Structure 1
Amino acid sequence: MLTPLPTGAARHIGPYRLLARIGAGGMGEVFLARRGQGRLVAVKAVRQGLDLDLDDAFRVRFRREMAAARAVTGPFTAALLDGDADARLPWLATEYVPGPSLADTVARCGPLPVAAVRALGAGLARALAAVHAARVLHRDLKPGNVLLTPDGPRLIDFGIAQAFEATALTMTGVLVGTPGFMAPEQIEGSHAVVPASDVFSLGAVLCHAATGRGPFDDPELASVVFRIAQGDADLSRVPDELRGLIAECLAPDPARRPAPAALAERLETHGTARFPWPSEVLSLFAEYRSAAAEFEPGAPYVPTMPGEPPTAPAAPTAPAAPGPAPAPRRRPWQWIVAAGVATAAVTAAALVLPDVPADPADPAENSPAATPAAKTPAGGSAASSLVRTYGRGHSGELGASAVTPSALPGGWQPWSRKKPEGADGRGTGCVLARSTLVCRDGRGAATALTAATGEVRWTAPGFQGKPSGVQESPPETDGERVFVPSELGVTGLDLEHGDELWRRAAPKHARLISMAYARGVLFTAEVKSAGSSGPRATTLRARRAKTGGQLWETALDAKAVGRLLVQGGTVYTALESGGALALSAGNGDEKAKVSGPRCGDLMGHDGAVLCWSARRGGVSDLDPETLAVRRVVGASKKPDVAPVVGAAGVLVVANSSHTDITTPRFTAYAWKSGRKLWDLPARGVPTALALADDRLLAAGTYEIYTVPLDGDAGNVTQRTVPLTDTTRLDGVELNTPLYLGGAVFAESSEGRFVSGRAL
């Protein structure tokens, strides 16, 4: 349980403010901490006052152990988020799990029933499979390193885990592990430790969970070691249903122990969706969560009652999620994406359209708010009741819900799902709304998945016909309906059940290229198909989102490109020939038009319209009334993907040199002054950028990198996203990523929908 910090104790470790003390071990202390208003984390640091020789070898070992832990991802593991091996007292930060350890649970509630032990064992076996898949050994699996939550266990403390290649760094003569839960080969010497050694420890942990005692418990340490070496396990108190499996785990010969994945299959009981914790354990969960609630930023905590699923605190506003940018590509790996997220309150200020005629029959469209209130379905949290694509001006800025764990739907775990049979790869883009992820294909067919688990909720058919190319315009939502675009047209669907409300095909010899939603109105851009007669003209339309009825249309003598931007009662679009166009959102009348500069896409920020292109350097600041260029920021940098800028006033551009496209960099500028702030290597090829809290989020091929906005190179983090059920990762990209609650939701370029931890 959490305890107050003593008077005079240090209040910061690295960038984290210490909030309470969680516990301590032989060399380290663990604290509850938070960075700014971000998520709660557990910070483990070398204890103050110890007479330790923190030489280079120790720091090399510590750094290697952090790298090993960072490689581990899985639904039953606690992620390593940050760390510093070179600090005066080295430290690392991991995901905070607000639950008791297995040791505490058994001590307070007694042995667990058979069903709970089976589920616990299956979860821990899955965690070990993830650890070993990352070429890491845990080497200290014990009841104190297993935390329990309503939706399963979390394996923690990879602080002594070593990558297979790093075992030579273990200090000579140091016994790594906990007596009573160590395998015979672990006692004999670290060089004999293998993945099966962790399985032995798991068997001892399950014996403890089922009986309250370990299989080798003895008052004398020497007797414990002797009994382990002799294979003298006491399983007399273990229930018959579990004794055989636990005995296999404790086999003296490592080759005779089951593999973690096979063990999980044998322990899992199919047909139940919730963990079978007894009521007294659920009460203990509520006690731990209540203790942590006072340290959470934002809304008050609602405790979980025994027998009920956990309830996330309600967020005061609803976040928006990122969307794509169909801009020209410089290289095959570029997926030009805008990952913007904003709260509904901020969106309201940016999307007021006073001159759009309202529908008297639709109270949502008559509301002064930009976004109607969403009904939260069973199982969804208020925090995730409405998440829209793009957000404030497509600028890439995320609201607090993007990084606040409580915003995630209850029971979320990383998942990966194949696209439904028949879904093509010619259309990408998803939207999150009311704990539902809705994704499209090239024909406008929609698939709705439960955001927590990836299970398919419903599917809806697309248009007849064949798209001409890949489209990257995602669906839009008003919280009750979802609007699914395609090159062939657009469809309005009921979000809850997927029922078709209306359908509008694109005109003959035309294709829809962009769509935007604001205050009950859907705006679309259609261009003439290649090969049709006459100039490549564009038609902009406004439709009632509820009925699909047309409000106005305006024909242009130029081709629109990029996404439509709706801001301050005006619809903006970039033009293929160069420049941009502004129309009244109320009637489609032209308000301003310029012939330059060349814009691949537009963004909105701080009342301005921002123009950028992958073909030229810099981000141009356009006057929102006249579209005249007021200044250019970062003129020497050509953006590889959509730049991002947010309330902190920092513009970040991902760019690479023409001579070496494999080593892109992040360059940051103060938006108001244009002053260059910092320049850092990207650590990979970014496919999309976003801003959250005080960090930059960069999606790579299968990683999420975070970079502090102050440019601190020592505080860059990396999170691997598990994309598939296979080991093939080369060339796999995250398309149009969305962020919520510290998790990422995306399509992968190999034809799957995925969700994994991003922070």
Structure 2
Amino acid sequence: MLTPLPPGHARRIGPYRLLAGIGAGGMGDVYLARAEYGTSRQLVAVKAVRQDLGASQDDAFRVRFRREMAAARAVTGPYTAALLDGDADAELPWLATEYVPGPSLADTVARRGPLPAAAVRALGAGLARALAAVHAAEVLHRDLKPGNVLLTPQGPRLIDFGIARAFEATTLTATGMIVGTPGFMAPEQIEGSHAVVPASDVFSLGAVLCHAATGRGPFDDPEFASVVFRISQGDADLSGVPDELRGIVAECLAVDPARRPAPAALAERLSGNGSGGSSSGSAADPFPWPSDVLSLFAEYRSAAAAYEPPGEAAPPPPMAPPAAPGAFGPAPVLERRRLPWIVASAAAAAVVAVAAVVLPDALADGPAGAPPSKAASPRPDRGSPAAGTVTAYGNQGHSGEFGTSAVREAALPEGWQPWSRKKPKGVDSMGKGCVIARSTLVCRDGWGAATALDTATGRDRWRAPGFRGTPTGVQEIPPGTDGERVFVPSELGVIGLDLSTGDELWRHKAPGYAGVVSVTYAQGVLYTAEFNGRAAPDPYTTVLRARRASTGGQLWEARIDGRVRGTLLAQGNRLYAALEAGGVIALSARTGDEKARVPKPACGDLIGYGGAVLCWSVERAGVSVLDGGTLALRRTIGGAKQPDVAPVVGERGVLVIANTDEDAALPDRLTAYDWKSGKELWDLPARGTPSALGLAGDRLLYAGFYEIRTVPLDGDAENITQRTVPTTETKTIDGLRDTLSVPLYLGGAIFAENIEGRLVSGRAL
């Protein structure tokens, strides 16, 4: 039950305000809490590692703790409690799971006595299904016991899966401490064998079912040594287990792991006699809890209600907790903007930059538009992006501003739950990048093939083929969309597809010496910049083309000397491009005529904001602000800071640069500036180089190694929030560690692809 916090007790852990105590275990203390920041009012259970365990002094423990949190978030299923958040780097590492307002099995049996056979059978079926979900995510529980099983009216919920391994081989176990609970551990766990397998959790489940049916474990003994001996010998006391269950429980407790049933098969067997709708998976029939257990649920719900926000009723415990996203890997930094394109060698071929532009027929050519707050709304009859459209650039100016829909939970599609899945077969990882429109996530590959998924579930919607040919390297430029169509780039060309069906509407195959790397849409027009990296008639000429997005028909073509660097930027009635030789060029978006050109500064990429063009590069310090009409240099912001990734600037007028200060104790930094004055507002450690920055409401969002963090734009370090990046493995590929890259944000959730090609969605706030 919930207990008040004592006077002087800490009132916050991470971004969560502690409301009451839930309990304490061998590894840590557990609290009822609620996030202080963001839109969610969800109650959570926060577990902090005990101070006396010495974990804060053990770096190896923190590595394992971080890895196991990430792995545990890959688990999904109706009988598991979702891991939501955690921080392995805190002074005392902690994790947060969804709060389940119900008693543990241990508490229930202690207060109400053993459960009837029908309830035990249904309980076993639910827990077997939970183990199947845990094992499907390549996670082992390692500490399944009555205290780690919470009960709800709809069935059991398994908690703390996967976390026990974080405590193995640390100072905790070096002194002989056994990680797990004697009496519920498999023989191979007690012997310290490295061959702990999924069947080890099945052994523990058998012991838990014996406890549920009899009120005691199968190996209970006053002497610890006797417990260990009996487990190793298979000397289980099942005398009180009902006859209909004794055989199944005995199989679970077999000394040889190979003789224990698999969780999925066990669930089917326990569901076979029709003893409870829930155990058979039917949501229509009630779980067969006895009446005295149901009264416990009411008691726990009443206790939790005292901590609900005023005027809000707590929702019933969800029966489909989140699945875990996989990890993300950043691209090697060549010239890193929000979405870097990557080539496999210096001779890699060509590039087509595609950008969209506002192109009203009635407007005359003019310089870059007014600041975002004063910009005119696009006319819907000209194909303005639909609500719910999310591109990796954040907005039309590529400034990283995702808007309030990025954090407003109501913006999520109905029925969304976190999910993780591999890319479909036939869709490679030579091309990365995704876009969201109309509850559909569309991701590309290196050949221009596309796969569309339901953003709520991650299930397939359609797939579309790409070009024939051989890409020369990995490209990380996302598709574009107008809310009705999606435009998929590759080195080999660009393809227009129907968003609803994936049917091909048109395709433009790039010439043999050219390639395509970027797509952005606005107001019905698509722009491509094609230049060569192979033998060609004009080896140093870039060809710019404007195409009608609906048909692919060409509107105009222009040639410029030199190569374009980064992505094209469309602002007002101008089309801007950074040049590889240095400087920027501005063209008429209507005709392709050159309007302005400057030979410097050298820009890796461009951002449009406040009527100006921002020029930045990972190769030089500062962000140059150019006049949108003449391209003359107005001023430089952050002249001492060299960006590591694309800077961001948005609705609050705050520009943020991720940079490295080798003289600082924590060299990875986030530095914010007032856009109007250029004055530095704050400087904070980033705790790892972010793979990309984004803005939403009053917060900076960024993905780093294993974590997604948000920072208030006022620089209040006490209000930083953090989520663990979900992954099932920790790998290094070509020197790159698993970390988020190129994310999309919508409704407080993140959508992206990892370095291994896994597509995922999980909570960012």
How high is the TM-score relative to the length of structure 1?
0.71
Q: 1:42 aligns with which of 41, 44, 54?
A: 44
Q: What letter is aligned with 2:380?
A: S
Residues of 2 paired with 1:402 and 1:101: CA distance? 36
Residues of 1 paired with 2:403 and 2:62: CA distance? 29
Aligned position for 1:51: none
Q: What letter is aligned with 1:70?
A: R
- Partner-residue secondary structure (3-state), 1:669: strand
Aligned position for 2:15: 16
Q: What letter is aligned with 1:504?
A: H
Q: 2:391 aligns with which of 369, 372, 388?
A: 388
Aligned position for 1:623: 627
How high is the TM-score relative to the length of structure 2?
0.70
Aligned position for 1:497: 501
Q: 1:675 aligns with which of 652, 658, 680?
A: 680
Cα gap change, 1:457/1:354 in structure 2, threshold over 3 Å: closer, same or farther? closer
Q: Which moved more, 1:492-501 or 1:109-118?
A: 109-118
Cα gap change, 1:168/1:309 in structure 2, threshold over 3 Å: closer, same or farther? closer
Aligned position for 2:566: 562
Listed one character per residue, the Cα deviations across residues 446-496 of structure 1 (whole Å, up to 9, x for unaligned) are 222344554443221223444454433211122232111223332221122
Q: What letter is aligned with 1:677?
A: W
The question of 1:266 aligning with 2:261 is answered no
How far is the alpha carbon of 1:116 from its aligned partner? Answer: 7.6
Residues of 1 paired with 2:657 and 2:237: CA distance? 61
The question of 1:602 aligning with 2:617 is answered no
How far is the alpha carbon of 1:60 from its aligned partner? Answer: 4.0
The question of 1:232 aligning with 2:249 is answered no
How far is the alpha carbon of 1:541 from its aligned partner? Answer: 3.3
How far is the alpha carbon of 1:668 from its aligned partner? Answer: 1.5
How far is the alpha carbon of 1:724 from its aligned partner? Answer: 6.5
**After superposition, where does 1:236-255 map in structure 2 within 5 Å?**
236-237=241-242, 244-251=247-254, 253=255, 255=256
Residues of 2 paired with 1:327 and 1:64: CA distance? 27
Q: 1:545 aligns with which of 549, 556, 561?
A: 549
Listed one character per residue, the Cα deviations across residues 508-545 of structure 1 (whole Å, up to 9, x for unaligned) are 75433433201333232223564222363333333333
Residues of 2 paired with 1:570 and 1:327: CA distance? 31
How far is the alpha carbon of 1:329 from its aligned partner? Answer: 0.9
Question: Is 1:650–1:669's contact at 8 Å kept on the other side of the alignment?
Answer: yes
Q: What letter is aligned with 1:524?
A: T
Residues of 2 paired with 1:512 and 1:63: CA distance? 45
Cα gap change, 1:723/1:62 in structure 2, threshold over 3 Å: closer, same or farther? closer
Aligned position for 2:352: none
Question: Is 1:493–1:499's contact at 8 Å kept on the other side of the alignment?
Answer: yes
The question of 1:156 aligning with 2:175 is answered no
Question: Is 2:437–2:481's contact at 8 Å kept on the other side of the alignment?
Answer: yes
Residues of 2 paired with 1:282 and 1:293: CA distance? 28
Aligned position for 2:368: none
Residues of 1 paired with 2:574 and 2:305: CA distance? 45
**After superposition, where does 1:11-160 map in structure 2 within 5 Å?**
12-14=11-13, 16=15, 18=17, 21=20, 23-25=22-24, 28=29, 30-39=31-40, 40=42, 42=44, 44=46, 60=56, 68-72=64-68, 73=71, 74-76=74-76, 78-79=82-83, 81-82=85-86, 92-97=94-99, 100=102, 103=105, 117-127=124-134, 138-139=142-143, 141-142=145-146, 145-146=149-150, 153=157, 155-156=159-160
- Partner-residue secondary structure (3-state), 1:248: helix
Listed one character per residue, the Cα deviations across residues 669-728 of structure 1 (whole Å, up to 9, x for unaligned) are 324334273353644x6544445664542344xx34537454849978573542669998
Listed one character per residue, the Cα deviations across residues 15-45 of structure 1 (whole Å, up to 9, x for unaligned) are 5353854834478452231132254463537
Aligned position for 1:319: none
Aligned position for 1:738: 744
Listed one character per residue, the Cα deviations across residues 319-349 of structure 1 (whole Å, up to 9, x for unaligned) are xxxx99999717xxx796379xxxxxxxxxx
Listed one character per residue, the Cα deviations across residues 656-678 of structure 1 (whole Å, up to 9, x for unaligned) are 87x99xx9723423243342733
Aligned position for 2:510: 506
Q: Which moved more, 1:228-237 or 1:491-500?
A: 228-237
How far is the alpha carbon of 1:592 from its aligned partner? Answer: 3.5
How far is the alpha carbon of 1:595 from its aligned partner? Answer: 1.9
Q: What letter is aligned with 2:125?
A: R
Question: Is 1:429–1:735's contact at 8 Å kept on the other side of the alignment?
Answer: no
Where does structure 1 lack aligned partners over 5 or more consecutive residues?
48-53, 312-322, 340-349, 359-363, 375-384
Aligned position for 1:447: 451
Question: Is 1:516–1:566's contact at 8 Å kept on the other side of the alignment?
Answer: no
Q: Which has the higher contact order (CA 8 A, sep 6+)?
A: 2
Aligned position for 1:381: none
Aligned position for 1:337: 339
Residues of 2 paired with 1:138 and 1:63: CA distance? 22
Aligned position for 1:367: 380
**After superposition, where does 1:311-350 map in structure 2 within 5 Å?**
329=334, 337=339
Q: 1:473 aligns with which of 474, 477, 482?
A: 477
Alpha-carbon RMSD? 5.7
The question of 1:355 aligning with 2:355 is answered no
How far is the alpha carbon of 1:225 from its aligned partner? Answer: 12
Q: What letter is aligned with 1:633?
A: I
Where does structure 2 lack aligned partners over 5 or more consecutive residues?
270-277, 323-327, 342-354, 364-376
Residues of 2 paired with 1:651 and 1:464: CA distance? 41
**After superposition, where does 1:655-734 map in structure 2 within 5 Å?**
655=660, 665-672=668-675, 673-675=678-680, 677-678=682-683, 680=685, 682-683=687-688, 686-691=690-695, 694-700=699-705, 703-706=706-709, 708=711, 710=715, 712=717, 719-722=724-727, 731=736
Residues of 1 paired with 2:243 and 2:603: CA distance? 70
Listed one character per residue, the Cα deviations across residues 366-396 of structure 1 (whole Å, up to 9, x for unaligned) are 517974546xxxxxxxxxx533332223233
The question of 1:653 aligning with 2:653 is answered no
Residues of 2 paired with 1:325 and 1:370: CA distance? 33
Residues of 2 paired with 1:324 and 1:256: CA distance? 36
Q: Percent identity?
A: 37
Listed one character per residue, the Cα deviations across residues 80-115 of structure 1 (whole Å, up to 9, x for unaligned) are 63459987xx68341435675674999999965967
Q: What letter is aligned with 2:130?
A: G
